[in-house]
Amino acid sequence: MADRFLVGGSEASNTSFTIAQMKALKIYSNDDSAYPCKSLDFNKTQNTMILGEGAAVFCLEKGVKTNAIATIEGIGYATEPLKHHISISTNADCFQKSMAMAIAHMESKDVDIIVMHAPGTLKGDHSEYMAIKQVFNAKIPALTSNKWKIGHTLGASGGLSLELAIHMLQHQEFISIPFLNAQKHPNHIKKILVNAVGFGGNAVSILVSLN
């Protein structure tokens, strides 16, 4: 219905009320002074999710543009039935479906990096990683997340993850995460998959590529 439009999200969630909500859901860090959020630290013994703030806005245009900073090659989305509205299945079925849909037109080995949702919770990090293993088998792309730097935003979360992907495409630099050892660093970055999930098992995956 439109050829060009702006889309984005912003978040200013660091209020005592919002933090109390997250703690009531039992997904927030138990340490009030916790920093950073230890996304993808599989040795952690408790949730390390902390809230962050930020904003990201994009101009989306229909079709392939020569002056675009990146191109959306694929999108995927899925939901899954859950026993609790903030839970996720052991192998994140919703992420398996959304990632498979986003890369259905290509070989999975051609994905260079995945920007994971990775909220810093015990189950959230592990289940998304298990979903990636199911989809990519032995050829897992380089993995990263921005939450160890900026915390977990809500309304801006997906947008900020997409911004990280575009930044890596533009500068041809893999921004790693300090909690994963022996990660491969791609020499040339062409395609990045971005994952996002919300309460209730609603997952979205977007594949972006270098223009």
Number of domains, the chain: 1
Residue 19: burial class (beta carbons within 10 Å; 0-12, 13-18, 19+): middle
Per-residue pLDDT at 86 exceeds 60: no
Query: Residue 170 gets which letter from DSSP?
Result: H
Q: Which range marks the domain in which residue 80 is found? A: 4-209
Per-residue pLDDT at 133 exceeds 70: yes
Find the helix or strand (DSSP H, E) in which 39 lies. Answer: none
Per-residue pLDDT at 59 exceeds 60: yes
Give the Cα separation of 99 and 78 in Å (integer). Answer: 9
Tell me the CATH number at 100: 3.40.47.10
- Give 25's pLDDT tier (boundaries 50, 70, 90): confident
Give the Cα separation of 128 and 143 in Å (integer). Answer: 11
Q: Which three-class secondary structure string do you get for 102-145?
A: HCCCCCHHHCCEEECCCCCCHHHHHHHHHHHHHHHCCCCCEEEC
Average pLDDT of span 92-103: 95
| Whole-structure pTM value | 0.92
